[in-house]
Chains A and B, each alone.
Chain A
Amino acid sequence: MASNSSSSSAQQRLRIIAGHLQKRPEDEHASVAAQECKAETPRSNPSSAAPVPKRRQEIMKWNGWGYSDSRFLFNKKGQAEFTGKRYRLSGLILPSLKDWFEGTFGANLQHKSPATPTVNLSAVAPPNLNEPFIEDLKAAGVAASHDPEDRVFRAHGHCLHEIFALREGRIGRVPDMVVWPSCHSDVEKIVELACKHNVCLIPYGGGTSVSSALECPHEETRSIVSLDTSQMNRILWIDEKNLTAHVEAGIIGQDLERQLNEHGYCTGHEPDSMEFSSLGGWVATRASGMKKNIYGNIEDLVVHIKMVTPRGVIEKSCLGPRMSTGPDIHHFILGSEGTLGVVTEVTMKIRPIPEYQKYGSVVFPNFQQGVACLREVARQRCAPASIRLMDNEQFQFGHALKPQVSSIFMSFLDGLKKFYITKFKGFDPHHLCVATLLFEGDRGKVLQHEKQVYDIAAKFGGLAAGEDNGQRGYMLTFVIAYLRDLGMDYYVIGESFETSVPWDRVLDLCRNVKERIVRECKERGVQFPPLSTCRVTQTYDAGACVYFYFAFNYRGLSDPVHVYEQVEHAAREEILANGGSLSHHHGVGKLRKEWMKESVSGVGLGMLKSVKEYVDPQNIFGNRNLL
């Protein structure tokens, strides 16, 4: 840490510059040599950023992704635009999105499938309240509500079927009440009372689950209480000697990062959902961050976890960086998906904010070459903070999200680039694919690192394609969920799912799964060819994480969600048959439960069950995920 003092003054300067840059509306094409940590970070002013309110529906959509003020729409001229002020893309016109959208899906702007605008409160079943529990809770002074809007908001994650039902105004089983503990001891009280009165608890963090984990089990007859951790959102202490921070688990990603930034630190944990997902949720699902190559995944980041279970509190006795004390009890907690208790506080590693950040991109003649390059980068263990490889369909998708070019010069430049790559270098525009890169560290090392990676890429026919392409690639990740809502306005439904797979099977798995999706759609009567695309999003020593996007136009289908689910099911079967894992970071929830035994063996499942039995014999944490 010799450079600590010099770099921290540099960081301060950078932050000030970054602050200026962010406020400039015309910064879309500014090169991003010095920018605030992420493109995705909302542009909202840090000081005005409030923590998540109890009534989330006031700022967030009740039946779609993200903030109410931010959405894609096709304006009267038929051009796509993104509303609001929060994002870099906000307020911009995306001229090529319409053509891409209509061309890819066979969709038509004339054919709309709008969502129900407001919650039909009469469709919400009256709460099944456990009065003695409520009285004791009141006595304990814990905030609670059984307002239907609050309950509906916490009855779902963001699986397609969940959102689709909400848009149609269909509301299934919802929690009977919501409670907001404000600290660890509140949680202890709630859990104790739940045990006493036999109430079912479902922990709720950011609500970004895509595994049906938040769905209330319909067989549950007890009163279901959603335990919303959002008010437990303080950083309790920062230890600069050991570079750790002790944080309440309800904090959401962007708040954690912003508050640490104010002290000159970051966790570096940036899952795509970090605007909304919570620290406790990350722990409970074994989350993975985009920059794991530098900072590690959540299991590498946590030093200490405190969880309240029906049996009491589970935690380790010290903050030692590694222990040999039998199986690591953290691994009972990581990935437990809310079946054992509530994670209340986490001590995690922090790092000084990197001095320098640089995006980049490489174009490859085909996906195969791209994968070979990523494999080589992993072999040499020189992966940048993030390296992702998009296939051709996704590359084109990314292009459709290019904002309107403000100058003739820029569009001329774009044309020239395209000419160079397709004509001069002979890349087939229907095969080429792009890797996006993000480098982080001190400036000299970043530049050196960058050169090393581009040199490897060149061996696989890769051409450096600029920072802009790279940045847009990452932007795609965080707007994709907003885009799904746009699709759903025009009869297009879709979703993403992921897996991890050994290197030698990456290509085969990608091809087979994509083809399986296309074929299943055809066999199930989908009238238009689906979008079936993938990208490699993480590299490891022994394999990679692969992410699939799958969407189709459902006009002419009577039960589109069912068709969707069948296809996704088939795709998952295909993944497993090709040596892929059940999940890399989304988790199992209820959506993928049926494959758990196959995935971890009968004995493995038995082990997990016996833990559950010991920790929670009454099944208080009754979301029925995982097991």
Chain B
Amino acid sequence: MASRALYSPRHPVLKKRDDFEDVLEERRRSSDLRYALRCYTPTLYKGLVPCKVSMLKSIVLQSDHLQCVIKQVSSESGDSTECVAEEASLILDEMAHRMQLSTVRFFVFTLSKAFKRLFRSVCVNEEGIQRLQQAVQEHPVVLLPSHRSYMDFLMMSYLLYMFDLPLPVIAAGMDFMSMKFIGEMLRMSGAFFIRRSFGGDKLYWAVFSEYVKTMLRKGYAPIEFFLEGTRSRTCKSLTPKTGLLNIVMEPFFKGELFDVSLVPVSISYERVLEESLYARELLGVPKPKESTSGLLKARRVLSEDYGSMHVYFGHPVSVRSLAEGKIKRSQYNLLPRYIPQKPSVDTHEFLNDAAFRLVRIQEENMVLKPWVLIATLLLQNPDGMDLSSLTEQTDWLRHLALAFGAFLDWPDHEACSEVISCSLALHRRLLSVSAGHVQLSVTDAPQVETTPEEAVFQRAVVVLSCASYRNQILHVFLRPALLAVAMQSANSSRKDDIYNCFNFLRNMFSNEFILCPGDSVQDFEEACYLLMKRGVLQVLEHEIVMSASGQSTLAFLCSVLEPFLQGYQVVCRYLCEETNENLTEKEFIPAVRSFALKLILAGNTG
């Protein structure tokens, strides 16, 4: 059923979404301690094979798959099998979680305190929880949250505990391990750690994949990982990675499990905790190393208001129905199943396609706050806007976004101006408001003497922070915007020409935005449909004609893509003008950055 939803033609406006409930409300009324110590009786998977953490390890090490790879590695490297097996055991020790309920309870207690300070509300769709409760009993579950903040996985485990769902085991990056104490705490609350890159390391891959698969096959716990691989620093969904997705699907492909449920989860923040950190990182300030002391310093964040947070549990997607007609499971018949097999070309294509669609679901279920609309407008008007025209345009944009199917959390019974002033207040660190004029500005660092470079840097921090909010709504406007730009640059009203142009842009941006590979025609038709319905276009048999009233909408849509087009132009210019032969990947980004800085200082970005 779920996959039908996944592939059905999109009717953005008709999309039905669940209602939310604030889970913190109850927390504000009763004791956190008692809550953390309450009786926790999760719904269990019907095929659960009870299994202790320690047993898990020996099952993995004894597995045919791992034994097979150990022999392979040993014969290739000349080391004894005992030696390789020992290595595998060490890898597993480094990787494995050691979930225990007491640590979880400690986290529940502290997080209750923290969340109440950070957020006004944490809203969850309870129907999604109910669906999850159902799914958890039927088949092993894989949770696929979006990744915008460190908060994501803490919040996930917290919510699952809250609703008596089995606690997930979470694939986390090795970076956390370096946080001495916290790393171990996370391990004990279900995180397992994987190295960032282990491309060629056969043994590592075998241990890792067998570990995940074993937990899945035994129904040990829901597996949680981030399709995007890492936190998105721009709040724009990242193109998904398929490695782990392949691992969790393989037990189904090979018949070891009847089915696996994938549950996309969309987590959105009214204000992202790492907001300015991300901007600085993008500007080349190295990411602060995860460390416990760093975390303690970051306590400062606790004193700020981060507005509300929304967690939307999507419909479980059955891998079985997803793969129906796309994966021939009998391809695994002729090789013993424990011998590792690279995914075939078809499988790979399927994984990629599925991953993109899952990220699309995440995007579509992401709740957008009014500020996202405001940020979009403010970025398009670098010199600022009068409050009244901001109000007027926000209202216009709101209706456009809704017509395009945006999942907007707009307070029901409040005047537009009221809503806007609330948002402005929450994000005051990025703004200056004076005499009814709103402008993005640096309010944080009022140094008197700054070099021009520093000024640009400071401004860039603000713009990028703000852009990270605008980026959240890009997926709503993306397809119509591509069409708008295509119409502008095609210089023709012939449908074919416009489509070619659209397709060109779409290909160019295939790594920039979530555009499902192969959906080109569908996307084009969707864009046409939306703009036609809005009265912006008339789509005839061979032509696409702009209607008189559509000008402003098209202009807006074009400027949505403007910064990206500009960015690509700058990179192209850099490549044309400056490149020396031996440019390494490592040097490339800083070089582009300083090239862009030069252009900005010269006032020459056109």
CB within 8 Å for A509 and B258 given contacts A504-B337, A577-B330, A579-B333: no
Verify A512–B337 contact, CB threshold 8 A: no
CB-based contact B333/A511 at 8 Å:
no
Question: Which residues of the partner chain A approach B329 to less than 8 Å between Cβ atoms?
Answer: 577-578
- Do A512 and B258 touch across chains, with their CB atoms under 8 A apart? yes
Q: Inter-chain contact count A-B, CB under 8 Å?
A: 24
Query: Does A220 count as interface, using CB distance less than 8 angstroms?
Result: no
B contact residues around A598 at 8 Å (CB): 330
Q: Is A315 an interface residue (CB 8 A)?
A: no
The interface centre, meaning the residue of B255, B330, B336, B337 with most chain A CB atoms within 10 A of its CB, is B255
The 5 A-B residue pairs whose C-beta atoms are closest, nearest first, are A577-B329, A578-B255, A579-B333, A508-B255, A515-B258
Write out the residue numbers on chain A whose beta carbons fall within 8 Å of the beta carbon of B328: 577
Kindly state whether residue A516 has any CB partner on chain B within 8 Å: yes
B274 is an interface residue with CB less than 8 A from chain A: no
Contact across chains for B258 and A505 when beta carbons are under 8 A apart: no
With known contacts A577-B329, A578-B329, A579-B332, A516–B258 Cβ distance under 8 A: yes
Q: Does B256 contact A (CB under 8 A)?
A: yes
A512 to B330, CA, bound (A): 14
* Minimal beta-carbon separation of B576 from chain A (angstroms): 53
Q: How many residues of A contact B (CB 8 A)?
A: 13
- Overall SS of chain A's interface: helix
Q: Mark B324-357, 1 if CB is under 8 A from A, else 0.
A: 0000111011001100000000000000000000
Interface string of A504-529 (1 = CB under 8 A from B): 11001101100110000000000000
Q: In the bound complex, how far is the Cα of B336 from the Cα of A511, in angstroms?
A: 19
Q: Pick from A504, A515, A578 the residue with the most CB of B within 10 Å.
A: A578
19 example contacts (A-B, Cβ-Cβ < 8 A) are as follows: A504-B336, A504-B337, A505-B255, A508-B255, A508-B256, A509-B255, A511-B258, A512-B255, A576-B330, A577-B255, A577-B329, A577-B330, A578-B255, A578-B329, A579-B255, A579-B330, A579-B332, A579-B333, A598-B330
**Residues of B contacting A509 with CB < 8 Å?**
255
Give the chain A neighbours of B336 by CB distance below 8 A. 504
Question: Chain B's interface: helix, strand, loop or mixed, by majority?
Answer: loop
Closest to B1 in A: A523
Which residues on B are within 8 Å of A, measured CB to CB?
255-256, 258, 328-330, 332-333, 336-337
* B residues near A516, Cβ cutoff 8 Å: 258
B352 CB to nearest chain A CB (Å): 22
For residue B337, which residue of chain A has the nearest CB? Answer: A504
Give every chain A residue within 8 A of B332 (Cβ-Cβ).
579
Cβ–Cβ < 8 Å partners of A508 in chain B? 255-256
With the chains together, A211 CA to B336 CA distance in Å? 30
Q: What's the least CB distance linking B596 to chain A, in Å?
A: 53
- State the CA gap A512–B320 with chains docked (Å): 11
Please name all residues of chain B whose beta carbon is closer than 8 Å to the beta carbon of A504 when the two chains form the complex. Answer: 336-337
By a CB distance below 8 angstroms, the chain B residues around A505 are 255, 337
**Distance (whole angstroms) from the CB of A598 to the closest CB of chain B:** 8
- Write out the residue numbers on chain A whose beta carbons fall within 8 Å of the beta carbon of B255: 505, 508-509, 512, 577-579
Closest to A368 in B: B49
CA–CA, A155 and B370, complex, Å: 74
Q: A504-B337, A508-B256, A577-B329 are in contact. List 19 more A-B contacts (CB 8 A).
A: A504-B336, A505-B255, A505-B337, A508-B255, A509-B255, A512-B255, A512-B258, A515-B258, A516-B258, A576-B330, A577-B328, A577-B330, A578-B255, A578-B329, A579-B255, A579-B330, A579-B332, A579-B333, A598-B330
Whole-angstrom CA separation of A579 from B332 in the bound complex = 8
A483-516 interface mask toward B, CB cutoff 8 Å, 1 = contact, 0 = none?
A: 0000000000000000000001100110110011
Q: B249: shortest Cβ distance to chain A, in Å?
A: 14
Q: How far is the CA of A508 from the CA of B252 in the complex (A)?
A: 10
CB distance from A341 to the nearest CB of B (A): 33
Binary contact readout A567-583 vs B (1 if CB under 8 angstroms, 0 otherwise): 00000000011110000
Query: Whole-angstrom distance between the alpha carbons of A576 and B328 in the complex?
Result: 10
Residue in B closest to A581 when the chains form the complex, CB atoms: B333
**How far is it, in angstroms, between the C-alpha of A548 and the C-alpha of B336 when the chains are bound?**
24
What is the bound-complex CA distance between A508 and B329, given in angstroms? Answer: 13
Chain B residues with CB under 8 Å of A576's CB are: 330
Enumerate chain B residues within 8 angstroms of A578, measured Cβ to Cβ: 255, 329
User: In the complex, how many angstroms separate the beta carbon of A121 from the nearest chain B beta carbon?
Assistant: 47
Q: Which of A504, A505, A516 gathers most chain B CB within 10 Å?
A: A505
**B542, chain A: closest CB distance, angstroms:** 43
Bound CA–CA A598/B256 (angstroms)? 22
CA distance A578 to B255 in the complex (A): 6
Complex Cα distance A495/B329, Å?
26
**Shortest distance from the beta carbon of A523 to any chain B beta carbon, whole Å:** 9
State the Cβ distance, B135 to closest chain A Cβ, in Å. Answer: 14
Give A285 to B256 CA distance when docked, in angstroms.
32
A577–B329 Cα gap in the complex (Å)? 5
Query: Bound complex: CA of A579 vs CA of B329, how far in Å?
Result: 9
When distances are taken between beta carbons in the complex, the residues of chain B under 8 Å from A512 are: 255, 258
Proximity string of chain A (263-302) to chain B, C-beta cutoff 8 Å, 1 when within and 0 when not: 0000000000000000000000000000000000000000
> Closest CB of chain A to B417's CB: distance in Å?
52
Complex CA–CA separation, A576 to B337 (angstroms): 15
Expressed in whole angstroms, the minimum distance between the Cβ of B585 and any Cβ of chain A is 42
In the complex, which residues of chain A have a beta carbon less than 8 angstroms from the beta carbon of B256? Answer: 508
Bound CA span A577–B256, Å: 11
Q: CA A148 – CA B221 in complex, angstroms? A: 64
Across the interface, which residues of A come within 8 angstroms of B258, CB to CB? Answer: 511-512, 515-516
- Expressed in whole angstroms, the minimum distance between the Cβ of B515 and any Cβ of chain A is 32
B333 surroundings in chain A (CB, below 8 A):
579
CA distance A104 to B4 in the complex (A): 32
Q: Who on chain A is nearest to B334 by CB?
A: A579
Complex Cα spacing A330 to B255, Å: 36
Cα A511 to Cα B328 in complex, Å, equals 19
Closest to A579 in B: B333
Query: How far is it, in angstroms, between the C-alpha of A151 and the C-alpha of B258 when the chains are bound?
Result: 45
Give, as a whole number of angstroms, the nearest-CB distance from B102 to chain A.
31
Given the complex, which residues of B lie within 8 Å of A577, measured CB to CB? 255, 328-330
B262 to nearest A CB, angstroms? 18
CA distance A618 to B332 in the complex (A): 40
Residues of chain B with a CB closer than 8 A to A579's CB? 255, 330, 332-333
What is the CB-to-nearest-CB distance from B50 to chain A, in angstroms, rounded to a whole number?
A: 13
- Beta-carbon nearest neighbor of A516 in chain B: B258
The distance in angstroms between the C-alpha atoms of A505 and B329, with both chains bound, is 13
Query: From B329, which residue of chain A is reached at the shortest CB distance?
Result: A577
B337: A residues at CB distance < 8 A? 504-505
CB distance from B447 to the nearest CB of A (A): 66
Give Cα distance in the complex from A509 to B330, angstroms: 12
B217 (CB) vs chain A CBs: closest residue: A508
What's the nearest-Cβ distance from chain A to residue B95, in Å?
26
Question: Which of A505, A508, A577, A598 neighbours the largest number of chain B CB atoms within 10 Å of its CB?
Answer: A577
A388 to chain B, nearest CB (A): 23
Question: What distance in Å separates the Cβ of A426 from its nearest Cβ neighbour in chain B?
Answer: 15
Q: Bound complex: CA of A579 vs CA of B255, how far in Å?
A: 9
> Shortest distance in angstroms between B253's beta carbon and chain A's nearest beta carbon?
9
For the complex, what is the distance from the CA of A393 to the CA of B72, rounded to whole Å? Answer: 43
In whole angstroms, how far apart are the Cα atoms of A516 and B328 in the complex?
Answer: 16
Q: CB-CB contacts of A399-420 with B at 8 A, as 1s and 0s? A: 0000000000000000000000
Shortest Cβ distance from A599 into B: residue? B330
A321: shortest Cβ distance to chain B, in Å? 33
Q: Which A-chain residue is minimally distant from B323 (CB atoms)? A: A577
Q: In whole angstroms, what is the CA distance A361 to B182 when docked?
A: 56
**With the chains together, A202 CA to B330 CA distance in Å?**
34
Residues of B within 8 A of A511 (CB): 258
Cα(A208)–Cα(B333), bound, Å: 31
- Closest Cβ of chain B to A540, distance in Å, is 17
A511 to B332, CA, bound (A): 18
Cα distance A311–B333 in the bound complex, in angstroms: 39
B332 nearest CB neighbor, chain A only: A579
Give the Cβ gap from B478 to chain A, nearest Cβ, in Å: 36
Q: In the complex, A579→B253 CA distance in Å?
A: 11
CB distance from B254 to the nearest CB of A (A): 8
- Min CB distance, A532 to chain B, in Å? 13
Query: Closest approach, in angstroms, between the C-beta of B138 and any C-beta of chain A?
Result: 10
